[in-house]
Amino acid sequence: MRARLERLFERLVHASALERVAISVAALLVAIVVGGVFVFVSGAFASCRTGLNLAGQTFCYNPMQVYYELFLGALGHPLEGGWHPRNLRLATTLQQTTLLIFAGLSVAVAFRAGLFNIGTQGQLVVGGFATGITVLAAASILPGGFLGTVLLIPIGVLAGAVAGGLYGAIPGALKAYADANEVITTIMLNFVAVGVTSTLLSWQFQDPDSANSQTAAVPEYATIPTIPIVGFHGRMSFSLLALAFAIALMVAIAWLLAATSFGYELRTSGIQPAAAAYGGVDEKRMVVASMTLSGALGGIAGAFWVLMVHGRWLENVPPLGFDGIAVSILAGNNPLGVGAAAFLFGILSSGSSAVGTATAVPPELVGIVSGLVILFVAMPEFFRLLGRRYLDVETHRPVRADGGGEADE
C-alpha cells in the first residue's frame, strides 16, 4: 500500500505542466458531476410547486441551472442579449480576483521558501488597519484633489506593506532563531492581529458617527480611482488600475523568484535546505526575509481592501488570507498561476451570489458545491506538495548548479 502511494506521489511530483493542466480539468469535470448529483438529490428533500417528477418523487433543484448561474452568472450572463463588459457582476468577480492575487502571492512566496504561512489573514488585517489610519492621518496635512490622490494612495499601500511585512517577520524570526513551528505561530498571530486591531479601534480610531466597528472613511480622492470611459463605475468598488497593479506585481514576483540571486536562494532553501546551506545561503536570514516579503504582500491585500472596496477599515475582515492558501495550492505556488486560480475563486464567489438570486437553492448548498469544485481541483496540487515535502521522490533530480529547477520552481 505504501509503495503504491509513493508511486502515485512520484507521478504527481514529476507530472509535466500539460499533465497537471489535464489533471486539473479532469478534476473540475468530476467535481461538476459530483456536485450536480448532490444538488439534484438534495432537491428531493425540498418543497416546491414545480420540479422534475421521477418515480413519484419531485426533485426541486436543476443542477444545470445552478452551474449556469455559478459560472456564467459571475460574468453577467455573456451569452444573453444586452450583456455589457462593465456589468456589476463581472466587477464583483474581478474585485475578488484582484484581492486574491495579492493573498495568493503572499502564501506562494512562503511556500516556495519551504514555509507554511497560515498567517496571511492576520497580516492582511494588520496591513489594512495600518493603511486606514495612516491615510486618515496623512490626509489631514496633505493637499486634496489630484495631488492628494497621487500622494495618499502610495502612502497607504506602503503603510499596509510595511505593517504586514513587519507582522510577517515575527513568525519568521521565531522560526529562524527559536525553531518555533511557523504553522503554529502564524495561526496564533491571526488571533492576535484581530484582538490588537479591535482594541486599537475601540481605544482611539473608532468612527464617532457610526455604531459599526470601523474607522472613519478616508477622503474620496484617496481611494483607488477608476479609468474614465473604459473603466468600471466608481460605485462598483472595483478599479482596473488595481487589477493592473496586481498583475504587474504578479509578474514582478515571478521575475524576482526566477531571475535574481534572492529568488535563487529562496527557491533553493525551499527545495533542498541542506544544499542551500552548503552553498553559502544564510538560512536564518532567508527565513526572516521570505516571511517578511510574504507578510508585505498580505499587507498590500489589506491596503487594497481598504482603498478600493470600502474606503475605510472595518473590524469584520473577510477571510481573504485563508482563501489565498487554496489559491496558492491550486496554482502550484507558481506566481503566474496565481492569477488564473484567483480568477476561478472570484467566479465561484461572485457566482454563488448569482445562484442565490436566480434560483431557490439555499446558499449553504451553493457553498457546498463551490467547496467541492475547489476541493477537487486543488487536491492534486496539494498531494503534489505533500509528495515534494515529505517523500523521498526526488533524489534522482538534484537542483541544478545554476539555480534552475523544474518548470514550476
Is pLDDT of 285 > 60?
A: yes
Q: What is the predicted pLDDT for the residue at 294? A: 97
Is residue 403 classed exposed, middle or buried when 0-12, 13-18 and 19+ CB atoms within 10 A define those classes? middle
Cα 4 to its chain centre, rounded Å, is 33
How confident is the model over 112-136, as a mean pLDDT? 95
SS3 252: helix
Indicate the average pLDDT of the chain.
88
pLDDT digits (tens, 9 = 90+) for 69-83: 999 999 999 988 888
What type of residue is 65? Answer: Q
Asked whether 152 and 217 are in contact (CB, 8 A), the reply is no
Largest pairwise CA distance in the chain: 73
Which position has the grid cell 481611494?
A: 223
H or E stretch at 240: helix 240-259
Between residues 377 and 389, which one has the greater pLDDT?
A: 377
At 7, list the grid cell: 508511486
Q: What is the pTM of this model?
A: 0.88
pLDDT digits (tens, 9 = 90+) for 40-72: 999 888 888 777 888 778 889 999 999 999 999
Listed residue (321, 362, 316) closest to 345, CA to CA: 321
Is pLDDT of 232 > 50?
A: yes
Q: What is the predicted pLDDT for the residue at 270? A: 75
Asked whether 59 and 51 are in contact (CB, 8 A), the reply is yes
Cα(297)–Cα(110) distance, integer angstroms? 11
Q: What is the predicted pLDDT for the residue at 375? A: 86
Is pLDDT of 333 > 80?
A: yes
Is pLDDT of 404 > 50?
A: no
SS3 272: coil
- The tally of CA atoms less than 13 A away on the side-chain side of residue 326 is 21
